Amino acid sequence: MKVLILTHGTRGDVQPYAALAHALRQAGHEAVLGAPAAPASLAEPYGQPFAALDDGPNRLINNPDIREAVETNYRGLRGKKAALTVIKRTKPLMVQVMADMAAAADGGADVIVHPPGFPCHHIAERLGVPAVPAAMQPVWVPTGTFPNPMLAGVTVPRALNRASYLPTRLLLRTSVAGVADRFRRETLHLPRRRGRHDVLRTPDGSPVTVLQAFSTHVLPPRLDYPSWVHTTGFWYLPAAPGWTPPAELSAFLRAGEPPVYIGFGSMAGTDPRRVGRIVAEAVKLAGVRAVLVSGWGGIHLDDLPDTMLLLDQAPHDWLFPRMAAIVHHGGSGTTGAALASGRPQVICLFVADQPFWASRMHAAGVAPAPQSQRGLTPHSLAAAITAAATDQGMAERADNLGARIRAENGVHTAVRILETLA
């Protein structure tokens, strides 16, 4: 079968979908990955067919208002104003992204896989093929087991757990409905219909097949997802064929005890130099060595001490198992990679679903209490790093949970489910 995978965002957002494309091709299917040009390096080493999409909302990442919104997690009146600004600025940037996604579908497909936050189901409707929302966070399908993870810090009575997922869907409708209607009318030549913006329903109103690319092992117990929702386990992209670590990394690893990994991906607050100073001082206070991945400017250091090595990037499946602990921002992809490595974690959260993953890692006993980026101090971070790197019980729990996570092989489960649709 031919599967068109359409996604957007930064490298961390795209990587799980690249993993699915790679697994589909390994299983003998045809897969085309449509994503912004910047993460194209994820596809190139595997010979993965790639359709470059306009950068769209990615252009806003370094905007000061966006950085402040990320740092404050949209809290307070200022945060709500920032959220409205993000929506307002995102809408016009989506127009070309959607046009490029439609162009990527010109070659046809048997199935379209997409993030629930992008209205690619309209393209599938035009082709007359199934659309499969693939969620990286448990925020799209309501459950009575736990409240919407996007409402971190808000107390929700258990009876209202399901209702708490409604704001996410309303926000999606507010964000893209106008662009989607114009896209349906002018590009896809589709008529208006009732329920057209519901990504969880087919055009005839029946439920779609939903893939959730995370593990039930880290969710609260007694889940009640419907049968058409498949929680497969995390999706991992293996290191590229022939990849070898740079000489400086190999030398650094040989030079002493296993270091800690510190990286916050594409997350960047308003003062990366402040974060850099905190990280450097915390590493010193904890008496550890560290491999630092600065990401999209989230950490800035003017002088790098001998105890720290700066990397542009390295495959998580190779690097993380060699670390004493993983310090990260709590994105679903990095959380999944840290889980698979079997190493303890320290989560310094920013925004969105990150507080949820941070709380789940702490509840699982594989991470100390979460650290908020806004309230981060050298001493609090040093204490968390020390706990993660030295607590034997935490290390054993991380190792045991990692074995269960790896055994799921989530991306291959996803391939088998997609094979039933074409």
Exposed/middle/buried for 207, CB within 10 Å: 0-12, 13-18, 19+? middle
Report H helices in 31-165. Answer: 64-72, 76-104, 121-127
Place 75 in a pLDDT band, splitting at 50, 70 and 90: low
Question: What residues pair up with 111 in beta bridges, in sequence order?
Answer: 3
> Which letter does DSSP use for residue 201 in this model?
B
State residue 39's pLDDT score.
Answer: 81
- The half-sphere exposure of 393 on its side-chain side, counting CA atoms within 13 A, is 5
Q: Answer yes or no: are the C-beta atoms of 44 and 72 closer than 8 Å.
A: no
State residue 73's pLDDT score.
Answer: 55
Q: What are phi and psi of 275, to 5 degrees?
A: -60, -40
d(CA 50, CA 33): 5
- The half-sphere exposure of 196 on its side-chain side, counting CA atoms within 13 A, is 19
Place 226 in a pLDDT band, splitting at 50, 70 and 90: very high
CA 295 to chain centre: 14
This prediction has a pTM of 0.92
Give the pLDDT mean for 378-390: 97
- Lowest-pLDDT range of 12-16, 69-73, 109-113: 69-73
Q: Does pLDDT of 122 surpass 60?
A: yes
**Closest-CA residue to 86 (of 109, 107, 113, 66):** 66
Beta carbons within 8 Å of 226's beta carbon, 6+ residues apart: 141, 207
CB neighbour burial string for 378-410, b if at least 16 within 10 angstroms, e if fewer: bebbbbbbbbbbebeebbebbeebbeebbebbb
State residue 297's pLDDT score.
Answer: 57
State residue 270's pLDDT score.
Answer: 58
- Taking each continuous run of H as one helix and of E as one strand, the counts in the chain are 13, 13
d(CA 345, CA 328): 8
Interval 130-146: pLDDT, tens = 999 999 999 999 999 99
Place 71 in a pLDDT band, splitting at 50, 70 and 90: low
Interval 393-416: pLDDT, tens = 999 999 999 999 999 999 999 999
The type of residue at 261 is Y
d(CA 223, CA 51): 37
Question: What residues pair up with 309 in beta bridges, in sequence order?
Answer: 291
Q: Answer yes or no: are the C-beta atoms of 282 and 382 closer than 8 Å.
A: yes
Which is more confident, 90 or 340?
A: 340
